[in-house]
Amino acid sequence: MIRNFLIALVLPFIKLLSMIFYDKKYLLGRWYTDSNQGWKWVLTGIWYQKILGFNREIPFPICPFTIVSNYNNIHFHPDNLDNFQSPGCYLQCSRAHIYIGHGTYIAPNVGIITANHDPYNLDKYLEAKDVIIGDNCWIGMNSVILPGVTIGNQTIVAAGSVVSKSFVNGKCIVGGVPASLIKEL
């Protein structure tokens, strides 16, 4: 009862601060309407992002231990804001785009890469390619998704996998290094 009273007392203040520090289009969806979890992320994000400076330029609450190289090139639904609360994720999209489908879950320590180094000159990059992850996917912990990969709807990527080719049909489980089809769903 005391907890609910404190939340009711503090929540209007957190909502006001959120409008100052974050783009309001990210403050929608299930994390803000179905629970107070989103507002907790806002409060934590204000401290880590806006005061301490971790991911300061990113216009939505994000874990201080997640790296997004160019937030303008990442596309997701506000219901998927939880994917940016996992520590250790690396979303490298400075030269191409990353699309994350609605209802997709991304576990901690996942890398999504849109450009690799040129093996003949490590100071240069190969051509960047978009990464597309469909709706209702699950990307397991410590997985890496490489440039140009498309993962179809309802695909599960097993933990520790390196996805170097597309699985556009979806509805499957893929895993391994390099990832291959384990099972169709």
Q: Catalytic site residues?
A: 117
Under a CB-based contact definition with an 8 Å cutoff, are residues 143 and 160 in contact? Answer: yes
9: Cβ contacts below 8 Å, ≥ 6 apart? none
- Phi first, then psi, for residue 72 (nearest 5°) are -65, -20
Q: Find tokens 């909502």 and name the residue.
A: 15
Under a CB-based contact definition with an 8 Å cutoff, are residues 154 and 137 in contact? Answer: yes
66: Cβ contacts below 8 Å, ≥ 6 apart? 55, 84, 85, 86, 87, 88, 89, 90, 91
d(CA 171, CA 54): 36
Task: Provide Rg for the chain, Cα atoms.
Answer: 18
- Phi first, then psi, for residue 146 (nearest 5°) are -95, 170
